Amino acid sequence: MKRFLSVILSLCLVFGMAMPAFAAKSSTLRFDENGEFKILHICDCQDGYPAKENMFKYINHMLKTYKPDLVVLGGDNCVCLKEYKPDAIKELVTPFVENKVYFTLVFGNHDHEQGVDKETLLKYYQKFGGKYCLAYDAVPEMSGTATHNLPVYASEGSEVKFNVWLFDSGSYVEDENGERLGYDCVRKDQIEWYQKTSKALEAKAGEKVPSLAFQHIIVKEIYDVMFPKALFEIPFVTETYDGTTYSVFNPDTSSFIGFMLEPPSPGVFNHGQFDAMVERGDVLGLLVGHDHINSYEAELDGIKLINTPGVSMNAYGNEFVRGSRLITIKEDDPWNFTSEVITVNDAAAADPEFAASIGRSTAEAKAWIALGDFHIFLKMLSKALAWLIY
């Protein structure tokens, strides 16, 4: 029986590889007339219903100001009560529909906790997003929901120039007694789907297709970049992932740019997703949310590991970082991309009208930006002093 199910899943994976290209063609994701493709990464909206008005004012400001070609909702998108889910999702996607901006999504660990399964949630996004919702479930039999990819075509013609991966990184892992061990991660069958689909894209294009990957929960390898290894565990000072213990008390501030205001929270297990991406050599960056007050960019083995801060004005956050991330890819150089966080305060400092609309002065916004810069300076200074002392 297990062998039969394995054959069925393998066939589903094979047929699933053909779906992304069809879906992307019908949605016409392509580089614009200036040879650019812009992605707005919005994470952890994580609000009730109705959601905070200022969050939508910020999202609308970003859509109108930067005109992204694609919005990626990075998980923990909607956490309202079960009975309000349809209305809340309609509310969330309305700015994209009204601004005629394509969007897709990944699910986080909180999206389904209110009693609505992710398959039903996906249908709500598709229903209320209409033609602007590009999210779909590439292989329904695969772990998670709405793991898929979206090729990006040349500004002219049918050549695939870029690709966007979307992974469901799950929610929680439990032991045999139902006790939570920690967060989940991308599973083996999803990794196999990625490898097969990546090879299919390469075969069709005649070369590897550069790409970015999005999911909610960061991979464990971020600890290899940011923190020194520890000899033994100490409560509140160390964290252990995949059998290795790290000292989170003294992160290497030279290993990343931006803010790391809380220890990253990867899954408790590691099925080899990052290693598979390194081996394939087509993923330029892995972008996540989940840790609301982190806003950093690091790099390991040629792949950038990027945390986009939370945009939520309901769940926990920080005025240094609250905002979203704008990614720009150039058609004539698709193997490189630029990435910048545009915080609510950045937007308010640059646009007095927007600042007034959310009840904030430009002076207040600039003060928060200055405090954030000072925080980074202090972190760099403390690292330099530690190096001199030790």
Architecture of domain 17-389: 4-Layer Sandwich (3.60)
Sequence-distant (≥ 6) Cβ neighbours of residue 136 within 8 angstroms: 19, 23, 122, 126, 146, 148
- What pTM was estimated for this model as a whole? 0.92
Residue in 175, 280, 262, 164 with CA at minimum distance from that of residue 215: 164
Residue in 137, 55, 119, 125 with CA at minimum distance from that of residue 88: 125
Residue in 144, 69, 77 with CA at minimum distance from that of residue 101: 69
In 10 A of CB 236, how many CB atoms? Answer: 7
Question: d(Cα 289, Cα 76) in Å, to the nearest integer?
Answer: 9
Q: What are phi and psi of 19, to 5 degrees?
A: -70, -40
Triad 200, 207, 221: Cα angle to 5°: 75
Question: Tell me, what's the pLDDT at 316?
Answer: 94
Is residue 264 within 8 Å of 51, Cβ to Cβ?
Answer: no
Burial of 130-159, coded b for 16+ CB within 10 Å and e otherwise, reads eebbbbbbbbeebbbbbbbbbbbbeeeeee
Residue 337 β-bridge partners: 329
DSSP line for 272-294: SHHHHHHHHT-EEEEEE-SSTTE
- Gap between the terminal Cα atoms of the chain: 61
pLDDT averaged per 10 residues, the chain (length 390): 40 43 57 97 96 97 98 97 96 98 98 95 98 97 98 94 98 92 97 98 97 98 95 91 89 92 95 98 98 97 98 95 98 98 98 97 97 88 59
Question: Tell me, what's the pLDDT at 386?
Answer: 53
**Helix, strand, coil shares of the chain as percentages rounded to 5?**
40, 25, 40
Beta strands at 323-330 and 294-300: parallel, antiparallel or unpaired: unpaired
Question: d(Cα 335, Cα 329) in Å, to the nearest integer?
Answer: 8
Cis peptide before 50 (omega within 30 of 0): yes
Question: d(Cα 153, Cα 356) in Å, to the nearest integer?
Answer: 39
Question: d(Cα 268, Cα 180) in Å, to the nearest integer?
Answer: 10
DSSP line for 128-166: HHGGGB----S-TTSSSS--EEEEEE-SSSS-EEEEEEE
Q: What are phi and psi of 223, to 5 degrees?
A: -70, -30
* Residue ranges of E strands in the chain: 36-42, 70-73, 102-105, 148-153, 160-166, 172-174, 180-183, 211-214, 238-241, 244-247, 256-260, 283-288, 294-300, 303-307, 323-330, 333-343
Chain centroid to CA 44: 9
Question: d(Cα 82, Cα 229) in Å, to the nearest integer?
Answer: 43
Burial class (CB in 10 A: 0-12, 13-18, 19+), 246: buried
Is residue 323 within 8 Å of 302, Cβ to Cβ?
Answer: no
